[in-house]
Structure 1
Amino acid sequence: MYAHPNHIPQPPHSAGRRFQGFRRKIDPAQVPSAPEAINFDRHQWENTIFQNKPGEHVPLSSSDFISLDQGNASPKFVRMTTWNIPYTSRLANECAIPMVAVLQPFADLDPREEPVPLVDFGERGPARCERCRAYINPWCTWIRGGNAWKCNLCSHETEVSPEYFCNLDANLMRMDHLNRPELNRGTVDFAVPPEYWASNPPPRFLMPYFSSEPPPTGKRKPLPMNFVFALDVSSESLRSGLLFTACAALKDILYGPNACFPPESELAIITFDVTLHFYDLSSDLVPMLIVSDLDEVFLPLRSGLFVKPQGRQAAIEGLLNALPERFAEMPYTDAALGSAIRAGIAGLAGRGGHIIVFQSTIPMVGAGGLPGEPDEANMYDTSKEASLYAPRDNTWRDIGEECVEDGIGVSIFLGMSKYIDVGSIGVVASMTGGELFYHPRFTPERDGAILHAQFDRLIRRTTGYNCTMRVRTSNGLVSIRVNEHHGNFFQRGATDLEFGILDADKALSVTLRHSGGALDPRGYVYLQSALLYTTVEGQRRVRTCNLALPIVELAWNVFLLADLDATLHHLARRAVSQMSSEKLANIREDLTENCSSILLAYRNKCSNTSSHDQLILPEAFKGLPVYTLGIEKSKCLRARNVTSDVRNYYAHRLLSMSVRSLVQLLYPPLLALHDLAEDALFPDETTGRLNLPDVMRDSHLYMSANGVYLIDNGEAVVLWVGDSVSPQILLDLFGVDDVLVVDPQMSALPRLESRLSTQIHNLLEYRRVQRGGRVSKFFIARQNLDAAELEFSDMLVEDQNAGAMAYTDFLSVVHGQIKQVGLLQLRDGGTIGGAVALRGSIW
């Protein structure tokens, strides 16, 4: 991909620092290209089935591939930073590639793939190892004629129950092997008996709410997931239209043409300002009961608080229609979010569920009441800046812990016009496995459809609640063990992770380490994640994901099957998790050093014959420098002044999003719309799948003023229109022939009877379906005319912007670090492993 000969000047942007010091002129066309690898991988896998065997190259997360489960879980469920495990801890350190597993247990599958099978062992429950408690899986071996099985994780031999016995064939496989999903599928759901039911939390010394009834104790029978919808009815919510939009979206979720509310579930509706309002949904008049005590919340009713919406349509629709008018008469400026969540906990106690909140103003009253906006401008680049990225009141952590103990998740829609302290209130969503939806300066015309699509996805996607997860690995004299966990969850002990809810869009990561000694190079390292959860329908299950990973002795083999996407996912999460304790400048320097260390390790262990002046990049990590730069330019880590609310929102997103979403956020796909092939973005006649064009590099050097370009990072879609674009293209896209007449405030592209318009709408629909129905915010950016061009330019990762240098300059810095350490090695006559400290010798 070559730079355009008549490329545009760099768009308006927040300039980054230029490279300080001498460097030779680098031709941008000669540096490694991330889109080149993305396009190649997509073409490779679009018509090929990934066999999913140990020791194979794994498709990139950006490719639409079909995975065949043959005992190893699909990469959609588990991705490794390297699919070959170093046989010693020394080799692992020398390679400098972190050993990390990224887990997404409920990931959406391609419609052409087989669904996850459900296995029911009845009252005895699934077969488990007597020692390590691992679940039966395809990598276990059968002994004693089928009377026992040997655990692949700890090698313990467990007797087979009489009901589960089966004879073995000549290959020592069970005769019923092919009819047992748990013995040939890497990802399986097990239905579990009452001993696996969740337990109610132990009695607290101080209850977060008042109840006239004693708190429930003991085991909790699984029930369909119940929902509490809590609506902010303060003056800001009314003024912005958030309340009206939330009520309209909820009506559509419940009773619209595409209603998606689970038929087995019940709901409750709470509204709140400086008081809490409860509604008896079982009555046709729907009376409102007001609770003014925000510190000791209590439920004024039990019967009628929760109902199934199918039989109460007239009452619920009447209430939702009346709410905006009812509270317009005496609006209050405050909204007690913390107390409203605790009211939801009181309602869901003993059953678990999901609290969905719509909030428009900073909660200054009630539980966790917060002071006003801090003086952020004077805190940047000081030791106090880290405090902006942590809760200002620990009550919010307490609320999050209370929710997790009761098996409750909290998701919050934020539609505010000013500072709302995402760092404090967002911790509840983060701790419980919920989600934040961020709509600054909310307006129904621009954000209403986006919020509706987000709400729809929130209800439709695969979700489990009251979840506990544990990751087990091979456990012998020499083993691989779980070291750290990263993501949005609550961790009480060293091994178990707890979630109020966990859904299809959420991923977490675990860091693995050698316990010492050498592994058997002829064997495998095994990994099993087990997620105990309750389905939306009310069934208690365990989902297991299993992997067998080859052990290798050579660094070359470690790099051969390294996974760039999973490595970036880990680097980004580790950086974000340090925001509340480290200066952002130090975090960015650490990211650069991590990039240099991995490339230095490859140079030392795999390319010793190359000149020290030559930058050597492993095939798997050719995109590592530009993606690392993308992490540093992300809105939560970039150098320029970004509000703490924005940083905290993106930090929450990075700690929860899938590998695919993260890679797209770091290096957004850019398409030239004026240069599409005739068949591009139309269904293929033979396969029926959309013919996707190749993406281009994120830089103004490859753009021209007579072009139209679309960039999409998953959060926003920006359509950039050059000032010399053809009038015919404008007519095909907007129905006007003058760029000055194009409406920059449009929130969606108009549908016109033109080929180009159809192509673009096919692309937008494809990406909407790809994200499970979620829609990104849409902006028009005309060259040198519209403010949205700032957002567009900041997405061009390879340019100098967002408080950071250009890609070519960043490569020079990385190359300089590697060269300097290489010269030190030559001078000292020794070799240094990849995981070396670079800062002291470079900065």
Structure 2
Amino acid sequence: MYAHPNHIPQPPHSAGQRHQGFRTKINPSQIPSATEAIEFDRHQWEDTTYLNLPGEHVPFSTTDFVGLDQGNSSPKFVRMTTWNIPHTSRLAGECAVPMAAVFQPFADLDPREEPVPFVDFGERGPARCERCRAYINPWVKWTRGGNAWKCNLCTHETEVSPEYFCNLDANLQRMDHLQRPELNRGTIDFAVPSEYWATNPPQRLLMPYFSAEPPPTGPRRPLPMNFVFALDVSAEAVRSGLLHTTCAAIQDILFGQNACFPPESELAILTFDLTLHFHDLSSDLVPMLVVSDIDEVFVPLRSGLFVKPAERRNAIEGLLTAIPERFAQMTYVEAALGSVIRASLAALAGRGGHVVVFQSTMPRVGAGGLPGEPNEADLYETSKETSLYVPRDNTWQDIATECVEDGIGVSMFLTMSKYIDVGSIGVVASMTGGELFYHPRFTPERDSAVLYAQIHRLMRRTTGYNCMMRVRTSNGIRVSEYCGNFHQRGATDVEFGVLDADKAFSVTLKHSGGTLDTRGYVFLQSAVLYTTIEGQRRVRTCNLALPVVELAWNVFRLADLDATVYYLARHAQKLANIREDLTENCSSILLAYRNKCSNTSSYDQLILPEAFKGLPVYTLGMHKSKCLRARNVSSDVRNYHAHRMLSMSVRSLMQLLYPPLLALHDLAEDAGLPDPTTGRIVLPDIMRDSHLYMEAHGVYLIDNGEAMIMWVGGSVSPQILLDLFGVDDLMAVDAQMVANSLGLKPSFLPRFTTSSRTGAPSAGGRFSKFFVARQNQDAAELEFSDMLVEDQNAGAMAYTDYLSLVHNQIKQVLVDGGTIGGAVALRGSVW
């Protein structure tokens, strides 16, 4: 797509940054386009099945492809930064491509794909290697006539149990090979016996809660997952409408038309302000028991706290209807968040579960009570700025550790009107594998539909609890680091209170010495031991076989842009000079390709490998993300987005860094409608994120997974306004309208509802908040403009200037020698 000669002037935006020094003259229409690559990949795979074979190109994470598992896990479960492994550590260093894997074990599959197979070996459990404890998989080799199998990870031979024995055919494969999913499929769920049960944590000298009975010890029988809904009933929650909206949303997931609460599960409802309120749901009158001791909490109920909704519908509906009325005149302004989490821990001790908290004010009392709001302006650009991004009270880390050790995940809906200290309280959600849902300045008219969608996704997605995960590798490769939202006590295992379909984590891989065999493969296996919502203990394994190569060209040929961007974005948050290191990492990768694969080109020519043509623009998108943005951004916003980036899927991150932009006034006739031959929705093409491609008579929609903004040009056609808003005058458009009130004309509505191409499930359960931005009139235009990654805004350069910076860094090294990271780098603050 070429820049339009009559493009609009750049909309109002936050201040950007100009390139310092020599600026290479670049034609914006000639620079690499992320959207062209995305659209090409989509059209390539939308009617083709991906076969999941080693050594093949992998579809982008943004493509809705259909995969066929033939022994390698689908890229939806595992993505590699390069699908060809360098045979030595020296080659890996020379290529500068990080060697890492991104795992999303419970990722959603396309309805056209086969579900993950479930295999039950009975009381003996799944076959495992006697030495490294890897699980049996399609890449093992059978020996001794089928009496043993050689582990593909450590090469140890393990005897086959008599019950599992089968003769081999002429190809040394088992005769029942095709009837054994564990020998054909890369992703498998195994049922496991009692020796795999979760274990209760050891008794502490100082318990976090008071219990009249000693805490349970030893293995715990797997049970259906229980939920605790903890509702803030302070004055702020009542005033903002959160309390009423929350009660209605819980009723909807329990008993509404689209009820989605797991039928095997039980729930408890707690309310809290300066005290904790427990509700006895076994009685139709639902008495409320108040615990005023918020420093040493206890559970005052022995029965009636947890019930199945179907059995106690009248009591639950009556309580949820009465709560907003009961606390309507509430004058308490405090809410003891830490204490209610510990009370939930006490209620779920010995079995695990999920705590869903709705909080609207900073917790100043009870466990982890926080002091007043810090003066952030005085800390920016100083050595103390880092204090804004860590918990101010270590009690929050203690609470998180206590929960995850007991198999409990905590998710939070934050709906504050002022500072709430996400850096402190958010660590509980991060360490337990839970989720943060962020609704600043909550208003029911704008946010209730989003909150409803989020809580529905919370209930519907695949979720496990009491989770423990380990990644094993074959000889010659080791895992050096795990990165994500979890709790890690040792070097090899990480723990999650809950782990769901929208969460991903990454591992960094290193050579462990020596040279890998280029005629063989490198193998990876992740194993997640978890309890299902229904109460069954399982292990989900994901297996990968990766070719070993000795040429840098082959490393770059199958490099994965999405996984590399994901790795750089996550690990950037640990660096002292984040933005500068991101640029240097980007330049180093491009320099390595230039040196190893294209060293005869002119120094004045910027050479980009095919796999990494989009790397500079996505790196620029990281600079402009809210957790790394250079201009003043509140610590709550930074910490929330940092939490998101450490837990979101690859697809969600790519959408966040370079949001899809659509020209709604110029959609194809069939866009958003079912294809007459396949029945699938025809997706519209996206355009580049820059005002240079926009026209004043157009209507554009952008969606980064957090906010969906419709920009309406000042010269838009009255007919388009009628189709979208039901009015023909731009000044009559209601800028506060919500998305589901759009498209009064039936023929246009289907196109709009599918035009974001992301929808709630694929965007990590986050139904984006909708805003209308009329040209030069509405405040949302500032946010819209800052989402145009290729423009100069958000404290960073325009795409053309950024390419000049990257090119100059590479050229300086080519001319003067040395490495990336000299005087060209722009050193700055911690963010």
**Quick check: TM above 0.5?**
yes
Question: What residue in structure 2 maps to residue 559 of structure 1?
Answer: 556
CA 1:26–1:98 in structure 2 vs 1: closer, same or farther (change >3 Å)?
A: same
Q: How does 1:554-633 map to 2 (within 5 A)?
A: 554-578=551-575, 582=576, 586-633=577-624
1:790 to 2:762 alignment: no
Aligned partners of 2:426, 2:560: CA distance in 1, in Å? 31
Deviation at 1:757? Answer: 3.3
Deviations 1:306-359 (A, max 9, x none): 111111111111111111111123431000000000000000000000000000
Deviation at 1:127, TM superposition (A): 0.2
1:547 is aligned to 544
- Are the aligned partners of 1:521 and 1:552 in contact in 2 as well (CA < 8 Å)? yes
Q: CA separation in 2, counterparts of 1:310 and 1:199?
A: 30
Q: Does 1:637 align with 2:637?
A: no
Tell me if 1:839 matches 2:830: no
1-side partners of 2:647 and 2:323: how far apart?
Answer: 33
Instruction: Tell me the number of residue pairs that the alignment of Structure 1 and Structure 2 aligns.
Output: 825
Residue 618 of structure 1: CA displacement?
Answer: 0.1
Residue 197 of structure 2: aligned partner: 197
- Mapped to 2, the partners of 1:608 and 1:589 lie a distance apart of 26
CA contact (8 A) 2:690 2:788 kept: yes
Q: Which residue of 2 aligns with 1:387?
A: 387
Residue 771 (structure 2) aligns with: 779
The aligned runs of 1:359-398 (5 Å cut-off) are 359-398=359-398
Q: 1:137-174: per-residue Cα shift (whole Å, max 9, x none)?
A: 00000000000000000000000000000000000000
Residue aligning to 1:757: 749
1:404-442 Cα offsets, whole Å, 9 max, x none, are 010000000001100000000000000000000000000
Structure 2: distance between partners of 1:202 and 1:19: 57
Cα distance change on mapping 1:774 and 1:688 into 2, 3 Å: farther
| AA partner of residue 708 (structure 2) | V
Partner of 2:346: 346
Corresponding position: 1:82 with 2:73: no
CA separation of 1:493/1:175 partners in 2, compared to 1, >3 Å: closer, same or farther?
Answer: same
Q: Within 5 A, what are the aligned runs for 1:192-591?
A: 192-475=192-475, 479-578=476-575, 582=576, 586-591=577-582
Deviations 1:248-302 (A, max 9, x none): 0001111111111111111111110000000111011111111111110011111
Tell me whether 1:677 sits opposite 2:668 in the alignment.
yes
Offset at 1:58?
0.1
* SS across alignment from 1:665: helix
The 2-side partners of 1:244 and 1:764 are apart by 30
Read off the aligned partner of 2:22 and give its amino acid letter: F
Q: Which amino acid aligns with 1:341?
A: I
Q: Which runs of 5+ in 2 are unaligned?
A: 827-831
What displacement does 1:747 show?
Answer: 1.8
- State the Cα deviation string for residues 635-684 of structure 1 (Å, max 9, x = none): 00000111000000000000000000000000000011111111122110
Q: Residue type of the partner of 1:793?
A: S
Corresponding residue of 2:32:
32
Query: CA separation in 1, counterparts of 2:737 and 2:6?
Result: 29
2:815 to 823, 828, 833: 823
| 8 Å CA contact 1:672, 1:710 repeated in 2 | yes
1:593–1:839: 8 Å Cα contact kept in structure 2? no
Structure 2 match to 1:11: 11
Q: Aligned partner of 2:503: which letter?
A: K
The residue that corresponds to 2:178 in the other structure is 178
The offset of 1:123, in angstroms, is 0.4
1:719 aligns to 2:710 (yes or no): yes
- On the 8 A contact 2:147/2:159 being kept in 1, the answer is yes
> 2: CA distance between counterparts of 1:28 and 1:750?
34
- Shift of the 715–722 alpha-carbon distance from structure 1 to 2, 3 Å rule, reads same
Residues 333-342 or 255-264, more deviating: 255-264
List per-residue Cα deviations over 1:615-642 (Å, max 9, x = no partner): 0000000000000000111000000111
Secondary structure at the aligned position of 2:808 is classed as: helix
Following superposition, the deviation at residue 531 of structure 1 comes to 0.2
Letter in 2 for 1:679: D
User: Is the contact between residue 684 and residue 755 of structure 2 (CA under 8 Å) also seen in structure 1?
Assistant: no
Given that 1:576 and 1:654 are in contact with CA atoms closer than 8 Å, whether structure 2 keeps it comes out as: no
Output the CA distance in 1 between the equivalents of 2:753 and 2:760: 10
Task: Report if aligned partners of 1:430, 1:489 keep a CA contact under 8 Å in 2.
Answer: yes
Q: Please say if 1:742 is aligned against 2:739.
A: no
**Bigger shift: 416-425 or 16-25?**
16-25
Distance 2:568 2:207 in 1: 39
1:23 matches 2:23: yes
Distance 2:330 2:698 in 1: 52
- Structure 1 range deviating more: 758-767 or 373-382: 758-767
Alpha-carbon distance in structure 1 between the residues aligned to 2:756 and 2:321: 32
Letter in 2 for 1:224: P
Task: Say which SS state the counterpart of residue 201 (structure 1) adopts.
Answer: coil
The reply on whether 1:799 has 2:786 as its aligned counterpart is no
Counterpart CA distance in 2 for 1:259 and 1:773 is 16
When the two chains are superposed, the root-mean-square deviation of aligned CA atoms in Å is 1.1
Range 16-25 or range 372-381, more displaced: 16-25
Matched residue type, 2:821: L
Residue 842 of structure 1: how far off its partner (Å)? 5.0
Kindly state the Cα deviation for residue 694 of structure 1 after the two structures are TM-superposed: 1.4
Per-residue Cα deviation, 1:677-728 (whole angstroms, up to 9, x for no partner): 1112211000111111211100000001011100011111000000011111
Structure-1 residue corresponding to 2:829: none
C-alpha contact (below 8 Å) 1:752/1:758 kept by paired residues = no
Q: Quick check: 2:477–2:512 contact (8 Å CA) kept in 1?
A: yes
The runs of at least 4 aligned residues of structure 1 exceeding 6 Å deviation read none
Which residue identity does 1:806 align to in structure 2?
A
Q: Does structure 1 residue 813 correspond to structure 2 residue 805?
A: yes
Q: Percent of counterpart pairs with the same letter? A: 78
Q: How far, CA to CA, are the matches of 2:291 and 2:761 in structure 1? A: 43
Partner AA of 1:552 in structure 2: V
* Separation (CA, whole Å) in 1 of partners of 2:764 and 2:794: 30
Note the alpha carbon deviations across 1:11-33, whole angstroms, 9 max, x for none.
Answer: 10012111112324321001100
AA paired with 1:219?
Answer: P
What is the SS of the residue equivalent to 2:705? coil
Range that drifts further, 764-773 or 326-335 = 764-773
Relative distance call for 1:557 and 1:790 in structure 2 (3 A) is same
Rounded to whole Å, the distance in 2 between the matches of 1:328 and 1:257 is: 28
Structure 1 residues 51-78: Cα deviation after superposition (integer angstroms, max 9, x where no partner) = 1100000000000100000000000000
Could you tell me how far apart the structure 1 residues matched to 2:776 and 2:583 are?
33
Q: Is the 8 A contact 1:407 1:466 kept in 2?
A: yes
Q: For residues 8 and 637 of structure 1, do their structure 2 counterparts lie closer, same or farther at Cα, with a shift above 3 Å needed? A: same
Aligned to 2:62: 62
Alpha carbons 1:233, 1:331 under 8 Å: kept:
no
CA distance in 2, matches of 1:394, 1:340: 17
Does the 8 Å contact 2:458/2:765 carry over to 1?
no
1:136 is matched with 136
Structure 1: 5+ residue stretches without partners: 826-831
TM normalised by structure 2 equals 0.98
Separation (CA, whole Å) in 2 of partners of 1:55 and 1:486:
26
Amino acid at match of 1:810: Y
CA distance in 1, matches of 2:757, 2:688: 23
Q: Tell me, in whole angstroms, the C-alpha distance in 1 between the residues paired with 2:248 and 2:824.
A: 60
